[in-house]
Amino acid sequence: MTEKSKTEIKLNHLSGKQILIWTSILTPTLLVVSIFFMGGGHGTYFFGKLFYPVPMIIAGMNDRITDLAAWIAVLQIPIYGLLLYSVRHKKRKIVGLGIFLIHILLFFFAMTVASGFD
């Protein structure tokens, strides 16, 4: 095995601790960006719908952002990380692609359901 292939294997195999660290950094960052652009209700909800489609769908159905939607937003990215960590190495790309495609479909659904949040 060459040095390059050893490095590639290490990069493709994240440990649970590394996933926890990355999701702990990514979650508050995306939340802050989303809230910043929402501007206290006077901005755009596009980034909220893009990063957190399920909570925005819930908000669209209730005409307000509920506590449930807020908690789902906080837990969404770590759940994605746990799903990727829990699958075998060979299926990780397939599961990652599945998560991505479902997320994109939910984004488009959130754009229609949560249309009151423009």
- The residue among 62 and 86 whose pLDDT is bigger is 62
Q: Which of 87, 106, 101, 91 is nearest to 19 (CA)?
A: 87
Lowest mean pLDDT among 17-26, 49-58, 67-76, 102-111: 17-26
Asked if residue 110 lies in contact with residue 53, where contact means CB atoms within 8 angstroms, the answer is yes
DSSP per-residue string spanning 60-113: HHHTS--HHHHHHHHHHHHHHHHHHHHS-GGGHHHHHHHHHHHHHHHHHHHHHH
pTM of the model: 0.77
What are the CA-CA distances from residue 116 to residues 31, 35, 110 (Å)? 20, 16, 10
Lowest mean pLDDT among 11-20, 24-33, 75-84: 11-20
Interval 27-69: pLDDT, tens: 999 999 999 998 877 888 899 999 999 999 999 999 888 999 9
Q: What is the mean pLDDT of the chain?
A: 84
- pLDDT confidence band for 11 (50 / 70 / 90): very low
